[in-house]
Structure 1
Amino acid sequence: MSLAGEERKERIVDWLNYAGKVRTSDLVAKLQVSSETIRRYLEELEHDKKLKRVYGGAIKVQYDQEEPPHLTREVAFADEKKRIARTAAQLVQDNDVVLIDDGTTTMHMLPHLLGRKNLCFITISVPALNLLMDYQNKGLLQAEAYFIGGKIQPKHFRSVGTLAEKMMQDFFVDKSFLSIDGIQAQYGISSYDAEKAMLSKRFIENAKETIVLTDHSKIGVSTFYKIADLKEMDVVVSDVPSPEEWSSELEAKNVNWIVAQ
């Protein structure tokens, strides 16, 4: 495969990450190659498990149909999540009221916030709450903490549901750090769980600034329940740059995409 061919395949993957699907006819027009060449590219990308061919084109591979348990998510892309969390923590300032979502990435932010003063945390995450209490008891963190209670989802170590939504109505935060299951430029951010998605909507509504944390495995993915459009986000922190095809849309929607260091 020539360098030009590899570059074309990368473009195809970028377009998939943007829209979730591509058509052979569109790829022929965009890449200015024959349909036979496009079919060969799609076959090779499918062999590399980067897409799934369907009639007339291809779709992005989605391996999971439901949210993995917390303990599974905790070890997946662990190094990338730690880098994302460290970068996201730099956005927190003294005296901030901060919402920490239940994701395994957001919890990795807490060790990097020990030097901040007069913080106030709100969370639905049981592991995050335990870590906050441990830091407080050891005198390592100067902060208050509130737990948003509701229906407990044991597999995910979090609370959700209408009671949690009602409780969140009375809290307003400076920054909401959200975990997600999928993000697309065209369709926004999404969750496998409808109850979690509804609560995330409340997190966005009651925040001055919304920051989404996502590793590369969720880019271009659309899951069961839509949380919000990208225009409702302020910042995305990821381990990789945004897909090339997203640039104009991110700029139009005033979303700042930060690559974790």
Structure 2
Amino acid sequence: MSLIGEERKDYILNTLNLEGKIRTSDLVDHLKVSSETIRRYMEELEEQNKLKRVYGGAVKINLTREEPSHFKREVIHADEKRKIGRAAASLVEDNDVIFIDDGSTTQQLIHYLHNKKNITVLTISAPVMYLLVDYQNKGLFSGDIYFIGGKVNAKHSRVSGSLAEKMVEHFFADKAFLSIDGIMLEKGISTFDAERGQLVRQMMSHAKQSIIMSDHSKIGSVQFYKISDVKDVDIIVSDVQAPVEWNIYLEEKDVSWIHAL
């Protein structure tokens, strides 16, 4: 494959990552090559398990329809998640009340709160609670910790359900730091688990600011349950810059994007 051919294939994959699907006719117009050439590129990419061909084009391949366990999530994109946690922690101010969602990315936030004063944390995540308790016992965290009660999901070490939603109703926070499983402009932010999605939506409605913490693998993906539209989010913290095609929308909807370095 020539260099120009590899560049064209990269364009196809980048477009799929942003939009989730692509039409052969659009690629013919943009790349100025024949439909036979586009089909050949798609066949090669499908053989590499990088996309799935459908009538008239291709869609982004989704290798999993099930949320990985908390243990598995901890080791996926670990370096990127640490950068995101550090950048998100810079948004926390002294005396803040914050929701911290379940997630291996949001959990990284805890490691960078030791210089913050009088922080109140409300969480649905057992690992987040245990980490805060450990830091507090070591004198590295001096704030208050509230564990949101509800139905326990052992695989993911979190709580959810109607009891948890009811408890969230009693609190108002300055910021909600949230985890997602997919984000697309036209599809919004989404998650594998409907119960957790409803609880995340509840936290968003009870916080002055909603802050998404997401690594690059979630961009261009859509999962089972829609949490909200992208415009309902205040800040997105990621290990990559916002897709260029999203910039106008984000600016119009006043959604800030922080590139964690």
TM-score by length of 1: 0.95
Supply the AA of the counterpart residue of 2:36. Answer: E
Kindly indicate whether the alpha-carbon contact (under 8 Å) linking 1:241 and 1:259 is maintained by their aligned counterparts in 2: yes
Deviation per residue, 1:192-222 (Å, 9 max, x gap): 1010000010011111111111112111111
Matching residue of 2:79: 79
Matching residue of 1:125: 125
Deviation per residue, 1:13-47 (Å, 9 max, x gap): 23212321111112212333221222222223324
Cα pair distance change 1:125/1:202, threshold 3 Å = same
Bigger relative CO (Cα 8 Å, ≥ 6 apart): 1
Partners of 1:254 and 1:43 in 2: CA distance: 40
Kindly indicate whether the alpha-carbon contact (under 8 Å) linking 1:52 and 1:58 is maintained by their aligned counterparts in 2: yes
Kindly indicate whether the alpha-carbon contact (under 8 Å) linking 1:80 and 1:239 is maintained by their aligned counterparts in 2: yes
Matching residue of 1:105: 105
User: What is the identity percentage for the equivalent residue pairs of Structure 1 and Structure 2?
Assistant: 57
> In the alignment, does 2:139 pair up with 1:139?
yes
Partners of 2:3 and 2:170 in 1: CA distance: 56
- Could you list the runs of 5+ residues in structure 2 that have no partner in the other structure? none
Partners of 1:162 and 1:221 in 2: CA distance: 27
Matching residue of 1:93: 93
Q: 1:4, CA displacement in angstroms? A: 4.2
Matching residue of 1:37: 37
What SS does the corresponding residue of 2:58 show, helix, strand or coil?
Answer: strand
Q: 1:2, CA displacement in angstroms? A: 4.7
Deviation per residue, 1:139-186 (Å, 9 max, x gap): 211211111100000001001000100110111111111011111111
Residue range with higher mean Cα deviation, 27-36 or 145-154: 27-36
Residue range with higher mean Cα deviation, 130-139 or 26-35: 26-35
> In the alignment, does 2:55 pair up with 1:55?
yes
Partners of 1:183 and 1:78 in 2: CA distance: 19
- Could you list the runs of 5+ residues in structure 1 that have no partner in the other structure? none
Partners of 2:173 and 2:11 in 1: CA distance: 39
Deviation per residue, 1:207-246 (Å, 9 max, x gap): 1111111112111111000000000011111112222322
Partners of 2:35 and 2:251 in 1: CA distance: 33
What SS does the corresponding residue of 2:105 show, helix, strand or coil?
Answer: helix
Partners of 1:6 and 1:175 in 2: CA distance: 43
Matching residue of 1:10: 10
After superposition, the CA RMSD in angstroms is: 1.5
TM-score by length of 2: 0.95
Residue range with higher mean Cα deviation, 123-132 or 78-87: 78-87
Q: How many residues end up aligned between the 2 structures?
A: 261
> In the alignment, does 2:175 pair up with 1:175?
yes
What SS does the corresponding residue of 1:58 show, helix, strand or coil?
Answer: strand
Q: 1:5, CA displacement in angstroms? A: 3.7
